[in-house]
Amino acid sequence: MRKREFILIWIIVSAILNVTGVADAEILTVADGLKLAQENSRLIKIIERDENIAEADIMLAKSRMLPFVDSSMNQTFLTYQPKAIFGPTTVPLSEKTFFSYSLNIQQTLYDFKANASRYEASKIIFQTKKFDTQRVRNLVGFEFLVNYTDILESEKLILVAEKEVERLQSHHRIAEVLYTQGVITKNDLLQAEVRISDAKQRLLTVRNYRALAASHLNNILARPLNTEIETTDFKEIASDIINMDMGKIWELAEIKRPELQIVNETLNVLNLEQKSKKAEYYPKFYVAGGYDYNENRYQVHESNWSLNLGMNVIVFNGFATKAELIKLEQQKFKLLEQKNKLIDEIKLEIAKYILDSRTAQERVSVTENAVQQAEENLRIYRVMYEKGSGISTDVLDAVTLLTVAETNYYKAVYDLRKAEAGVMYSIGTELSEAYE
C-alpha cells in the first residue's frame, strides 16, 4: 500500500514539475531576442563605458579654455618677529603671528587655437566611441541571429530525425508481419533494427546540438544557461539587396559601416592634434588677477589687488614638438593604410555573404524538389515491398535518401537565413531595425 502511495505522489510531483517547466519556457521572437541581446550584452555594457570616459575627456578639454581660479588661506607662526636694522635700532617688519589669504584667477586670451583644437578633437573622439558602440551592438545582434538560426535549424533536424525513426519503425512492423507470413527472411528484420538504432543515435546527437545552441544563445543574452527557449521562425528580408549591383551595395556600406566612420573621424582627430601641437611654436597670451591679504599692522596696506597681462613662449624644448608632429604624421599614414585594408576586408565580407545568399537560394530550390522526389521514391518502394515484389534494402535506402533530402533542404533554408543576416551586417544595417 505504501509503495502505491509513494508511486502516486511521485507521479503528481513529476506532473507539477513538468507543468512548471512548460510554463517557464519562453517564446522568444527574433525582434525580442535582438532587443534583449543588445540590452543585456556584457560586451555592449563594457564598450558603453568608453563613451562615458570620452564624455569626461570633453569636460577635461573644455576646462583648459575656462578661467583657472585658486585660493589659499593660512596662519603663520614665527619663532622670531621679522625686523630690520635701521641705524642704531631695529624696526619690526611684520608681526610674529599673522593671518593671510589670497584669491587668484588666470584666463588664457589666445593660444593659436591649441586648446580649442583639443576640445574639438575630444568631441570627435566621443563620436567615434558612439560609432564603436554601434559596431559592437550590430556584432552582438549578428551573433544572436546566427545562434538563433542554429536553434531553428536544429529543431527542424530533430523533426527530420524523429520522422526517420518513425519511418524505420513502420517498416520494421511491416517486415515483422511479412516475416511471420514467411515472405521474408530474418535478415530483413535485423537490417531494420540496425537502421533504427543508428537513426536514434542521430536523433540524440541533434537534440544535444539544440541544447548546446540554446545555452550559447542564453550566454549572449546574459541569462542562466539552462533557461528554456521556445523559438519562432522568421522570413527572408534581404532578397532585394542580394540582387543589387555590387557597386551599389558597396556605396551603402561606405555610408553605413561604423568602422569606416570611425577611421574617417579618427583622421580628423589627428589633424586637430597636429594643429594643437603646432601652436606650441607660438606664444600664449593670458591675463591674471588676484586679491591678496596679509595681516600686518606695520604695512600701510594689508590687502592689495593685482592685474597682470602676460605671454608664455617655448624657446627650446629639445625638438620635442617636432618629434610629436612627425609622430602624428606617421600615425595618419598608418591609419590610411589601415583604412585601405579595412575597405578590402569589408568588400570581401560583403562578397562572401552575397555569394552565400545566392548559393543558398539555389540550394533551397534544388533541395525542395529533391524532397518531393524522395517522398515519391519511398512511397513506391513501400508499396512494392508490402506487395512482396520489393526488397527491404530498397525501402531502407529510400528512407535514408528522404532523410538526407530533408536535412539538405533545412540546412539550405537556414544557411540562407544566416547569409541574409550576414549581408545586412556587412553593409552596416542596424539589425534591430531590420528584424522588427
Domain ranges (residues) in the chain: 24-66+114-284+319-434
Reported confidence tier of residue 9, pLDDT bands at 50, 70, 90: very low
Reported confidence tier of residue 11, pLDDT bands at 50, 70, 90: very low
C-beta of residue 165 within 8 angstroms of C-beta of residue 197: no
The terminus-to-terminus CA distance of the chain in angstroms comes to 58
| pLDDT > 80? residue 202 | yes
Helix (H) or strand (E) holding 309: strand 303-312
Rounded average pLDDT over 181-196: 86
Rounded average pLDDT over 163-171: 94
- The single residue listed with the C-alpha cell 569589408 is 346
Q: Give pLDDT, residue 154.
A: 96
**Cα distances (Å, whole numbers) of residue 142 to 151, 165, 279, 396, 419:** 14, 35, 45, 40, 11
The CA distance from 424 to 128, in Å, is 21
Residue 363 grid coordinates: 540550394
**Nearest to 361, CA basis, from 241, 231, 209, 206:** 241
Q: Give pLDDT, residue 243.
A: 79
φ and ψ at 286, to 5 degrees? -150, 165
Q: Give pLDDT, residue 10.
A: 44
C-beta of residue 134 within 8 angstroms of C-beta of residue 262: no
Q: Give pLDDT, residue 155.
A: 96
| pLDDT > 80? residue 226 | yes
What does the pLDDT look like over 354-394, one tens digit per residue? Answer: 999 999 999 999 999 999 999 999 999 999 988 878 888 99
Handedness of CA 343, 345, 350, 351 (dihedral sign): positive
Q: Give pLDDT, residue 25.
A: 58
Q: Give pLDDT, residue 23.
A: 40
Q: Out of 17-26, 111-120, 250-259, 319-328, which region has the weakest mean confidence (pLDDT)?
A: 17-26
| pLDDT > 80? residue 286 | yes
C-beta of residue 132 within 8 angstroms of C-beta of residue 53: no
- The single residue listed with the C-alpha cell 588677477 is 289
**Nearest to 382, CA basis, from 157, 198, 172:** 172
Rounded average pLDDT over 221-244: 83
CA 162 to chain centre: 36
Average pLDDT value for the chain:
90
Reported confidence tier of residue 424, pLDDT bands at 50, 70, 90: very high
The CA distance from 433 to 238, in Å, is 13
3-state class (DSSP) for residue 400: helix
> Would you tell me how many other CB atoms lie within 10 Å of the CB of residue 308?
11
Q: Give pLDDT, residue 181.
A: 84
φ and ψ at 302, to 5 degrees? -80, -25
3-state class (DSSP) for residue 105: strand
Q: Give pLDDT, residue 18.
A: 45
| pLDDT > 60? residue 13 | no
Q: Give pLDDT, residue 8.
A: 45
What does the pLDDT look like over 55-95, one tens digit per residue? Answer: 999 999 999 999 999 999 999 999 999 999 988 899 998 99
The structure's pTM equals 0.84
Contacts of 422 (CB under 8 A, 6+ apart): 142, 349, 352, 353, 356, 357
* CA 315-317-318 angle, 5° bins: 125
C-beta of residue 290 within 8 angstroms of C-beta of residue 306: yes
CATH number, span 24-66+114-284+319-434: 1.20.1600.10
Rounded average pLDDT over 329-352: 96
Reported confidence tier of residue 238, pLDDT bands at 50, 70, 90: low
Reported confidence tier of residue 235, pLDDT bands at 50, 70, 90: confident
C-beta of residue 145 within 8 angstroms of C-beta of residue 34: yes
What does the pLDDT look like over 328-338, one tens digit per residue? Answer: 999 999 999 99
Report, in this order, helix, strand and coil percent for the chain, each rounded to 5. 70, 15, 15
